Amino acid sequence: MNAAFRRRFLAALVLGGVVLTPALGAPPPVAQSSDNSRYASIVVDASSGEVLFSRFADARRYPASITKVMTLYLVFEALESGKVKLTDNLTVSPRAASQPPSKLGLAAGQSISLDDAMKATAVRSANDMAVVLAEHIGGSEAQFTARMTAKAKELGMDHTRFTTANGLPDTRQATTARDLSILSRAVMRDYPQYYRYLGLHDWYFNGRDYRNTNGLLATGRGYDGIKTGFTNASGYNLAASSVRDGKRIITIVMGGRSTASRNAHVAELMDTGFEVQRRRGQGERIQVAQAFFEQRGYGISADPNPPVEYASASDEDGEGVGSTAVAYVAGPPPATLPTEVTPPPSARATPRASAPVQRAEARTPENLTASLNGGSSTRRSTSAAPARSTRDAARAPSGRWTVQVGAFREEAVARDWLNDVSRRFRTQFTDAQRDVQNANGWYRSRFTGMTEAAAQAACETLSERRVTCMVIRPS
């Protein structure tokens, strides 16, 4: 039933004196995301595959970090076939080390077990570890993503194409809410023994606890997986699974406006889905669950049918765990998705880490900026400091305190990250000046010219959002 027909049907019911009344205490029907061109959603009974509700479920969208579910699916497949073991040691390549945040931050040449790499990918949503896994299984990320697309077709994900293993922006990489529901069902159906990775609440590594980016896991409402995702082009995505009274429902929401609103919307859709199941269990005849959802105001607005926005920047998962504003692919998407992909070679040699480090943050991820700053008293070289923007130079500093938010091997990455943090936390850095300082080959992303109170407050806010920061006293 298309949107136009549903509107005419509802109008006819109203004119005929028939009113679809929401449950007592429920809010009146309101249009859902009619002005949000990135929005899509679907609610599915995991056991039967019945679609309880859908909204733009077949519209082309960007998966962002939900991509990592397919990456892990192929790792699970390799584990079950015996091609790899949980104890395998994987070497971080320069390409993997250079991935933008969110990341674990191991340097090129360092190693990590396959088990920990999977946990980093699932819990931390680590872009670098997703590439490490792809290279270990497929020989290269390109060969691995060809496998990902082939597997998607095999599973029935007819509108999905993968070009990255971690979901960082690429206009060629696209999917639909319906396809992601198929993937979610497949991973828990085909590899129940490994599905637990996608439901880990936290993970301890090298002296640090990492919390899952999926905040619904800790709500006590039966949520047990599976993955969040965010880029500027995709909006806030979430594939969620919940089990209540022996029944499992999968809900996919794409294009949310914030982490909080996305999570709340997923919870509302999930609760409504379980209400359908409960009423059916009590003998109530609900033949078309979509109508039940629409009585509560979900999915009754006009169909905007917009084009997909092109990706230009990543803000990984949108959970405050790190991002960058590096520009990626900006060309138009292909008219059709490929029907065939070249299978990867049988050789799976781990790439050598012989090239110089393109972008490794530090060997000790527990407090990145503290370890790089070495006590915070290092003076910068004035000859190495880049020129500030005209606006920053014209503004008189309000203090001499500094907040450092990262350190990178590439100046462009450091500057992009600084600009991105400034955009996301503009209130905290209104009167600060942005500066990238070079110290022994590390480019430090810093906000300078702050008062002590402003610097402490800003760093506290960033820490609450799990963005690494450090307050530096005047030298």
CA-based nearest residue to 130, from 166, 184, 162: 166
231 and 323 in contact (C-beta within 8 Å)? no
| pLDDT computed for residue 140 by the predictor | 94
| pLDDT computed for residue 177 by the predictor | 96
Q: How far is C-alpha 135 from the geometric centre of its chain's CA atoms?
A: 20
Is 68 marked active-site?
Answer: yes
CA separation for the pair 327, 412 (Å, rounded): 11
């530090």: which residue's tokens?
Answer: 362
Burial 259-285 (b: 16+ CB within 10 A, else e): beebbebbbbbbebbbbbbeeeeeeee
Per-residue tokens: 192: 């129940």
Give DSSP secondary structure letters for 64-121.
Answer: GGGHHHHHHHHHHHHHHHTSS-TT-EEEPPHHHHTPPSS---PPTT-EEEHHHHHHII
Is 83 marked active-site?
Answer: no
Residue 27 burial (CB count, 10 A): 9
**What is the tally of helices (H) and strands (E) in the chain?**
13, 13
Burial 163-178 (b: 16+ CB within 10 A, else e): bbbbbbbbbbbbbbbb
| pLDDT computed for residue 420 by the predictor | 76
C-alpha angle 229-230-235 in degrees, rounded to nearest 5: 120
Catalytic residue among 125, 181, 234, 422: 125
| pLDDT computed for residue 303 by the predictor | 42
For the chain, the 3-state helix, strand and coil shares in percent, each to the nearest 5, are: 35, 20, 45
Is 125 marked active-site?
Answer: yes
CA separation for the pair 242, 62 (Å, rounded): 23
| pLDDT computed for residue 126 by the predictor | 94
């990492």: which residue's tokens?
Answer: 210
Please, is 90 exposed, middle or buried when counting C-beta atoms within 10 Å of its C-beta (0-12, 13-18, 19+)?
buried
Between the alpha carbon of residue 290 and those of residues 13, 35, 235, the distances in Å are: 16, 21, 24
| pLDDT computed for residue 242 by the predictor | 94
Sheet holding 401-408, edge to edge: 433-439, 442-450, 401-408, 470-472
| pLDDT computed for residue 395 by the predictor | 52
Per-residue tokens: 254: 């794409």
């579910």: which residue's tokens?
Answer: 69
CA-based nearest residue to 445, from 411, 396, 399: 411
* SS3 at position 210: strand
Tens of pLDDT along the chain (475 residues)? 454 544 444 444 333 333 333 333 434 333 344 446 889 999 999 999 999 999 999 999 999 999 999 999 999 999 999 999 999 999 999 999 999 999 999 999 999 999 999 999 999 999 999 999 999 999 999 999 999 999 999 999 999 999 999 999 899 999 999 999 999 999 999 999 999 999 999 999 999 999 998 989 988 889 999 899 999 999 999 999 999 999 999 999 999 989 999 999 999 999 999 999 999 999 999 888 888 898 888 865 444 333 333 333 333 444 433 333 222 222 333 333 333 332 333 333 444 433 333 333 333 333 322 222 233 333 333 333 344 444 444 455 668 899 998 877 778 777 878 887 887 788 899 889 999 998 878 888 899 999 999 999 998 888 777 677 888 888 7
Q: What is the largest CA-CA distance in the chain?
A: 79
95 and 141 in contact (C-beta within 8 Å)? yes
What phi and psi, each to the nearest 5 degrees, are found at residue 365? -80, -5
Indicate the pTM of the whole model: 0.61
329 contact partners, CB below 8 Å, separation of at least 6? 169, 170, 171, 172, 311
168 and 328 in contact (C-beta within 8 Å)? yes
Catalytic residue among 65, 234, 314, 422: 65
